[in-house]
Structure 1
């Protein structure tokens, strides 16, 4: 059985879904998809026996709502880590990795946004298992989902050679970051590509080394995403397949997609 430490990202994410989302209450804390918010759904998604208690990374301004939402579903977490709202996902990953290293933990970290919709928990766990096996070999592992429409809102990962016949990790020769529609049409004609779902799996020591190699102290570089801060310049980047319906709930198309699936 695999063992890993979830790192749940619960900071601000901009206002792309305004007016549903506000700085005081991002949409991840609203229950418009059902009884629970997407933040609570994410906590429950990482509650299988393979997962250690999660770290939750948020901002001082959102700490109380994070605590209230955990209390609402009687959810037990390991610790809440507070970062400035300008810190970004890459800094959150670094702080979590340093937290783990200080406690001599070598388990892979699963850095996971809390504003996604994932339809099938079984498919999610199969992808997580593949990601763990790949991360333990020192890779920076992203999660790829089938691009079900032409979109300039998502980044496209090129699916290269398979790393090992025993699991679905593949090299990522190139990344096209939120290309225009014309570029998307051209890109998809020249090889297999998937959307980057925005999760990252990596072991603490290799992740720290990768971030410091690329950015030094990182403290002067704010608001770097996991993709920009880790994957784009990494020589150890790869992707595993998340073979289920997925939606980004920070965008209106993603919200409508999730609502349509839930209603049907």
Structure 2
């Protein structure tokens, strides 16, 4: 999919590709209601809309990102409800059958609230969890019963912490996809600091990305995300790829 990309807006990278790959494994049930957190240029939200969701919300703290997502939705003739702001503001807008999220998760000296410009797309506090912990805690208010979260982040900020946080909120959570890749420019620039903080080993210049899936118990109401084969009319039930957790 060819997308308009704007200066200062996070461009789709390895984490975006991994999230899209995980999404394609499960499919999107026609008529579902979805929310994309940290939408950037709208890549994932547009894919969800194209897969048959009836209503797709896309949220980002960046004004430029929100504008870019709106333009891409217009160019591809797909309906998105784009909001500039925090995902927490969506909690009062009804619940969602599917939540996809590529939030800020890179450890940084400053907190997520202090980040400026394009750095808001990745800076997430000393442990990289300023946004992740809030997102995990918000899932019972965002997901409809039987709804599914697909969340991508780096293992540098703690996979176990994400699984523990989601399970503490009553969700069934596990890792469903992994991908190792070299450090990008942002991590390379702060590699020495990451070593000093004990977040990476000396000389480490690669990271592992993970996609965590979490399901909120309850009847899905016929609209939650389902495996692609089931969405196509197959008889198979919900499957989970192998993974830790």
Interval containing the TM-score (normalised by the shorter chain): 0.3 to 0.5
Greater RCO, CA 8 A, separation 6+: 1
Q: TM-score, normalised by structure 1?
A: 0.32
Q: TM-score, normalised by structure 2?
A: 0.34
